[in-house]
Amino acid sequence: MTRHDATLRRRRRRALLRVRIVVAGAGALALALLLVAAVLELPEGPLGLAEEAAAQLAHTGVDHAVTAVLLNYRSYDTWLEVGVLLLAVMAIFALRGGAHLENVRPAPRRDPLLTWLTRLLIPMLTLTAGYLLWLGKFAPGGAFQAGVVLGAAGAMLRLSGTPSLDRIGDVAIRILLAVGFLAFLVAAVATRLAGLDMLELPPGRAGDIILMVETLATISIATTCAVLVMAMPGAESPPAIAAKDVRKEART
Amino acid sequence: MTALLFDVLLALMLTVLAWRVVTTRELLQSVVLFIAYGLLMAIAWTRLDAPDIALAEAAIGAGLMGVLLLDTAGELRRRHGWRSEGGDDDTA
């Protein structure tokens, strides 16, 4: 009797599961069809403000439309994006209890191949970052791409056990992290003091201002990426373990 | 025709990879699949004429996220007590 009940219940549960799968599948299919229909309904030609953006490109100080949007037309958005990165690092420092990276565990082993590769790649990465930054003026590139490449160089230094940002002290790190946000802030205040709208760049000087802001933003983005890798939860060693490590190091 | 075939293949591979990233039980394997997904996604952005996003996707999505996720996976493994690799204690 009870056995019969159990099989009945199991069968009912299986039927319910099948109904759920069918309902979810039908929902997903309907959504997919709706999306395909939406794509087919799109009007031909450029959408939105693309034409206007292209028409005003000569006054933006750069020759690449994406950079013009990011650092001239909508530089306020980019400012806040840099602010989000700063907030993320601040949150990590809050979790770690400070901006000092001195207590991060040194990378486990010095691999000769990795050391050699690091020596080869760090200059190339730095050069590539500078190139990408410069490229943003007239081609795909710019502060974010350059910053991440430079940040990758920092991550590489960390992986190969080479001291880098974790040895320059927390004040220096804080400054490096904040200069990108501060550059936008200075530009915003300066444009307001000059009687313009906030971050409305005068066409004559826009190119120079953009290059300066982008350079500082690159430094901050690179530091953010490198600090993210260096301050990983795994890299953090609580005081007790840190002391143990130090003693162990002294012994060997 | 070749371009269309390439695009369809790319879209299929992206879908399969996304599915595998979510359903794979092995954490490390999932991370590696995610890195592959990021690289393919960069190619997809290039196909969509968005080289700016492709650059950022390759650098952040595949590169930096890969390092962070691999680090996290390694740390989780260490915390669960499998000291087969990366442990410091085997030298003591």
Whether residue A134 contacts residue A143, with contact meaning beta carbons closer than 8 Å, is answered with no
Give yes or no: residues A29 and A84 share one domain. Answer: no
Model confidence over A97-147: pLDDT tens digits?
A: 777 776 666 655 667 888 888 889 999 999 999 999 999 888 888 899 999
Give yes or no: residues A30 and A110 share one domain. Answer: no
Give yes or no: residues A35 and A56 share one domain. Answer: no
Give yes or no: residues A128 and A230 share one domain. Answer: yes
Element (H, E) at B77: helix B65-79
Question: CA dist B16 to A229, B33, B34, Å?
Answer: 29, 10, 11
Residue B92 touches chain A, beta carbons under 8 Å: yes
Give yes or no: residues A222 and A177 share one domain. Answer: yes
Confidence at residue A1, expressed as pLDDT on a 0 to 100 scale:
57
Confidence at residue A244, expressed as pLDDT on a 0 to 100 scale:
45
Residue A150 touches chain B, beta carbons under 8 Å: no
Confidence at residue A24, expressed as pLDDT on a 0 to 100 scale:
95
Instruction: Tell if the CB–CB gap between A145 and B55 is shorter than 8 Å.
Output: yes
Tell me the whole-structure pTM to 2 decimals: 0.78
Give yes or no: residues A112 and A37 share one domain. Answer: no
Most B CBs within 10 Å: which of A69, A85, A148, as the mutation test of the B interface? A148
Residue B56 touches chain A, beta carbons under 8 Å: yes
Confidence at residue B87, expressed as pLDDT on a 0 to 100 scale:
43
Give yes or no: residues A80 and A196 share one domain. Answer: yes
Asked whether the predicted pLDDT for residue A238 surpasses 50, the reply is no
Q: Which domain holds residue A19?
A: 2-42
Give yes or no: residues A21 and A59 share one domain. Answer: no
Tell me the nearest-neighbour CA distance from B72 into chain A, angstroms: 7
Q: What is the dihedral of CA A83, A86, A91, A93, to 10 degrees?
A: -160
Confidence at residue A103, expressed as pLDDT on a 0 to 100 scale:
63
Q: Give me the number of domains chain A comprises.
A: 2
In chain B, what are the domain boundaries?
27-79
Chain A residues inside the 8 Å CB shell of B91: 252
Confidence at residue B77, expressed as pLDDT on a 0 to 100 scale:
83
Which of A10-14, A181-185, A218-222 bottoms out in mean pLDDT, i.e. has the lowest?
Answer: A10-14
Instruction: Give dist(CA A141, CA A40) in Å, integer.
Output: 31
Residue A185 touches chain B, beta carbons under 8 Å: no
Chain B residues inside the 8 Å CB shell of A111: none
Whether residue A210 contacts residue A218, with contact meaning beta carbons closer than 8 Å, is answered with no
Give yes or no: residues A90 and A154 share one domain. Answer: yes
Instruction: Give dist(CA A45, CA A33) in Å, integer.
Output: 23
Most A CBs within 10 Å: which of B7, B48, B55, as the mutation test of the A interface? B55
Give yes or no: residues A108 and A216 share one domain. Answer: yes
Instruction: Tell if the CB–CB gap between A145 and B59 is shorter than 8 Å.
Output: yes
Residue A145 touches chain B, beta carbons under 8 Å: yes
Question: Which of B:61-80 have CB within 8 Å of A?
Answer: 63-64, 67-68, 71-72, 74-75, 78
Per-residue pLDDT of chain B (92 residues; tens, 9 = 90+): 889 999 999 999 999 999 999 999 888 999 999 999 999 999 999 999 999 899 889 888 888 888 889 888 888 888 876 544 444 443 33
Complex ipTM: 0.77
Instruction: Give dist(CA A177, CA A220) in Å, integer.
Output: 5
Residue A234 touches chain B, beta carbons under 8 Å: yes
Give yes or no: residues A26 and A146 share one domain. Answer: no
Which has the higher per-residue pLDDT, A248 or A99? Answer: A99
Whether residue B72 contacts residue A232, with contact meaning beta carbons closer than 8 Å, is answered with yes
Give yes or no: residues A145 and A196 share one domain. Answer: yes
